[in-house]
Amino acid sequence: MTGRPRPLIAGNWKMNGRVKPALAEIGRLAARLRERRRLGCEILICPPATLLAPIRGRLRELGVGRRVRLGGQDCHPAREGAHTGDLSAEMLSDAGCAYVIVGHSERRADHGETDALVRAKAAAAHRAGLTAIVCIGETLAQRDAGQTLRVVGRQLAGSVPADAGAGNTVIAYEPVWAIGTGRTPTPADVARVHASIRRWLARRIEDGNRVRILYGGSVKPDNAAELLTVTNVDGALVGGASLKAADFWAIVESRA
């Protein structure tokens, strides 16, 4: 099998959302899905853990439970134990998740997560049967110093488990300086980094040419079409624009 899996449009809700308004947005998304029976991409929503069960129930109720996948925003490397406030990958699987984000720049920066910890979390995701979305990306200082490819390569080497493949791993390139700032790299910049990631994957993973590489970092309806047509961009990890169904759907349609 040589082709890659379908492109993935993933929404990372971060620490946003209450039950009532969140379910209203899910209802709006479901209405769009019922109007569009076939899509050329896979849809993933990663809400806060408090919303996983309500959203799962509403998706099923609206008849689109098979068309929208759910994911966690983080997981602990252990299966269980004395880890107050944490969730294991097995717990996320039990809650109906198919994916989990690991190593997001906000986790790396705010919680001091290292490549080694991200690697352990991705391995835990695989253990639980989840697909790990491994996030990588450089800071503004690293970019200005011309270190982008070096940083990305180092993070890949440290964060991607040995058993990674197209069936259990997605890479998300998110330049830290573009997340939530409204700034985005040029398509040529994105192409350069994604090409470097693809070369790394192809050299080190048996089916590395099939592993999906997402772009993230201020992806919005007005720039999604341009970014998502760049070579080696297999979808997007969307932040703030995923909170409103209309904005998220516009991004989905740009790749659908």
Q: Is 174 a catalytic residue?
A: yes
Half-sphere exposure of 248 (CA within 13 A, CB side): 29
Q: Is 126 a catalytic residue?
A: no
Half-sphere exposure of 58 (CA within 13 A, CB side): 20
Q: Among residues 25, 126, 174, 194, which one is catalytic? A: 174
Q: Among residues 25, 42, 90, 104, which one is catalytic? A: 104
CA atoms of 240 and 99, how far apart (whole Å):
19
Which amino acid appears at position 4 of this protein? R
Three-state SS at 171: strand
Distance of CA 83 to the CA centre of its chain: 24
Asked whether the beta carbons of 113 and 151 are under 8 A apart, the reply is: no
CA atoms of 13 and 133, how far apart (whole Å):
15
Q: From residue 19, give the alpha-carbon distance in Å to each of 22, 101, 105.
A: 5, 21, 26
Residues identified as active-site: 104, 174
